[in-house]
C-alpha cells in the first residue's frame, strides 16, 4: 500500500501550521507518526482537515501563470505585426527614395 507521508516541515508547509503546533500535536497524542518518523496524510487530514486552501492557492498561481503566458504571447504577436508593418513601410520608403534619386539623375 502506497501512502503519502510527510515530514514535520513538509506537513507544516502543506497544512499551513507551524512546526511547533505539529510537534505539540504529536506530543499530546492528537497526531501520530509512523515507525519511520513520518506523518501519514490521513493523520494530517484527520486532525487539520483537507489542505484545500493550499490546493486552491496552487491552482490560482497556475491560472495566473497561464494568463501571463497568454498575455505575453499576445504582446509578442502584436510586436511581430508591428515589425512586419514597419519593414513594409521601410521598403516603400526605400523604393520611393530610389525612384526620386533616379528622377534627379535624369534631370541632370
pTM over 0.85? The answer is no
H or E element in which residue 81 lies: helix 52-107
Averaged over 19-36, what is the pLDDT?
Answer: 95
> What pLDDT is stored for residue 14 in this prediction?
85
Where do the domains of the chain lie?
1-50, 63-108
> What pLDDT is stored for residue 7 in this prediction?
92
Least-confidence region, from 19-28, 43-52, 65-74, 78-87: 65-74
Amino acid at each position: 500500500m502506497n501512502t503519502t507521508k510527510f515530514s514535520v516541515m513538509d506537513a507544516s508547509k502543506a497544512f499551513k501550521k507551524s512546526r511547533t503546533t505539529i510537534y505539540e500535536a504529536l506530543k499530546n497524542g492528537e497526531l501520530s507518526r509512523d515507525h519511520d518518523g513520518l506523518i501519514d496524510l490521513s493523520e494530517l487530514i484527520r486532525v487539520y482537515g483537507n489542505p484545500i486552501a493550499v490546493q486552491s492557492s496552487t491552482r490560482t498561481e497556475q491560472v495566473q501563470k497561464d494568463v501571463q503566458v497568454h498575455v505575453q504571447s499576445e504582446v509578442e504577436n502584436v510586436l511581430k505585426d508591428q515589425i512586419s508593418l514597419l519593414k513594409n513601410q521601410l521598403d516603400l520608403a526605400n523604393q520611393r527614395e530610389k525612384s526620386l534619386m533616379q528622377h534627379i539623375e535624369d534631370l541632370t
